Amino acid sequence: MANKLKNFTKEGQKLPLFGIGPYLIYGTVLLNALVIFLASYIFKTGILGGSFRWIFRVIGAVFIAAGCIIWFLGAMRSGMDECITENKLKTDGIYSLVRNPMYTGCWFTIIGVSFMWHNIWSVPMIIVDWVILTVVLINTEEKWLLDLYGDEYAEYKKRVNRCIPWKRSR
C-alpha cells in the first residue's frame, strides 16, 4: 500500500516520505476555497460585518501564525525525514504534543485563511476539515504505522492526540 506512492529515498525505507499528505491538504484547501467562494461571492451569505469582521480576522491571524509554527516544528525542526528513512517512530519534540503536526499546521493555516473572509460558513468548516483529516488518517497512515510499529505505535496513540496539540492526562 505505501509502496504505491513511490517517494522513497533509501533502500529498505518502509514508509513513503510524503504519504497521503499532499493529496489530503490540497483537497481540503480546495474544499474550503469552494465554500468561501460560493458563500461569499455566489450566494452572498454568511458575510459578517462590523466588529465581527475584525474578530474573525484576528482569530484568522492567530490560527495562521499557530499553523505555520506547528508545521515548521514538525517539518523542518523535528528530524522527521531521518526517522522515516531509518524506519523509526518519532515521538519527541512537537510529536509529543500532536501525532501529525504537519497536517495540524496546514489545517490551522487553512482555518486562519478561511476566517480572513469573515464568513460564518468558515466555522462549520473547522469540523468538516477535522472529520476529513481524521477519516483519511485513520484509514491510511495510522494503519501503515500500526503495521510497522505495532504496540509502540498503539501506546503512542493513547498518549498523543491525532490533530489537536495538547498533552492528554493519563
| Cβ-proximal residues to 88 (8 Å cutoff; 6+ apart), any chain | 82
Lowest mean pLDDT among 2-6, 72-76, 107-111: 2-6
Mean pLDDT of 94-123: 96
* 132-152: pLDDT as tens digits: 999 999 999 999 999 999 999
pLDDT at 94 over 50: yes
Q: What residue segments make up the domains of the chain, in order of their start?
A: 22-159
Q: Output the CA angle 99-70-92, nearest 5 degrees.
A: 45
* 3-59: pLDDT as tens digits: 454 555 566 767 776 778 899 999 999 999 999 999 999 999 999 999 999 999 999
Distance (Å, rounded) from C-alpha 143 to C-alpha 31? 25
Closest C-alpha among 21, 38, 31 to residue 126: 31
pLDDT at 2 over 50: no
pLDDT for position 9: 59
Output the pTM of the full model: 0.89
Distance (Å, rounded) from C-alpha 16 to C-alpha 13? 8
pLDDT for position 170: 58
Closest C-alpha among 163, 169, 170 to residue 74: 163
